[in-house]
Amino acid sequence: MRVLLIGPPGAGKGTQAARIAAHFDLAQIATGDLLRGEIAADTQLGRTAKGYVDRGDLVPDELVITLTKARVVKANREGGYILDGYPRTLAQAEAAHRWATARGVSFDLALLFEIGTDELLARLAGRARQEGRSDDTEQTIRHRLEVFQSQTYPLIDYYRQRGILVRTEAVGPVDAITERICAVLHWHKARALAAGADRPEWTFDPADE
Ligand code: ADP
């Protein structure tokens, strides 16, 4: 199963991604975590990305695409993935679309986390106190919400037009949200199986190694 999560910062994508990945035995690929790993390891990519992350801006598409592609291709080969934080721009979505179509596959579901701004701001302020993330200051949080509206929001229409957008209410107890999402994914899996879609879809391509 190939699932991507779309939602503003603070919507709980990371928490739910970990739970869903464990439940369905999928790889969890979180671009924010990958970028923070590169920054902590002080790699060249990390040094370039750091300023963007700290300001709450999106890291340039080419960097994120480079960072993500090999992981997505590998996870695709190994049974599927939950993408948390990718794609966040139309250019990234197009890149992902190209990787997938080159392998005769496509995303199964784009799961949209719906949540109001007041709830988000409250959650992010709480996370800032607990985790001390450098991009969780109030000013940066507001900026990240604006970036979501301007750059990521168009993906909703993009995936709606492809017929794979599913909305989920991201408010309420964490367990209840997980249950709702798992139900959606089980339903999708059953439907795909009934349609005979669960055949091995990917052939090994040495160019990916
Ligand atoms: P949040 O969803 O709370 O903003 P993330 O950990 O997903 O947190 O992302 C943190 C930061 O990492 C973003 O503000 C951005 O700078 C960078 N980032 C993560 N994913 C992407 C992406 N797909 N494209 C560009 N930048 C990204």
Reported as a single tens digit per residue, the pLDDT across 128-145 is: 778 777 777 788 888 999
Reported pTM: 0.88
- Is the minimum distance from the CB of 50 to ligand 1 under 6 angstroms? no
**Ligand 1: does its nearest atom lie under 6 Å from the Cβ of 65?**
no
- The answer on pLDDT for 90 being more than 90 is yes
| Residues belonging to the active site | 13, 88, 127, 133, 144
> Chain-wide mean pLDDT for the chain?
88
Give per-residue pLDDT as tens, 30-42: 999 999 999 999 9
Q: Is 39 in the pocket of ligand 1 (CB under 6 A)?
A: no
Report d(CA 67, CA 98) in Å as an integer: 16
E-strand stretches of 37-115: 81-84, 109-114
Q: Kindly list the distances between the CA atom of residue 38 and the CA atoms of 43, 46, 73, 175, 199, in Å, as whole numbers in the listed order.
A: 6, 4, 20, 31, 36
Indicate the pLDDT class of residue 198, thresholds 50, 70 and 90.
Answer: low
Q: What is the pLDDT of residues 91-141, one digit of tens each?
A: 999 999 988 888 788 889 999 999 998 888 888 888 777 877 777 778 888
Tokens of 127: 């996370």
Q: H/E element holding 177? A: helix 174-194
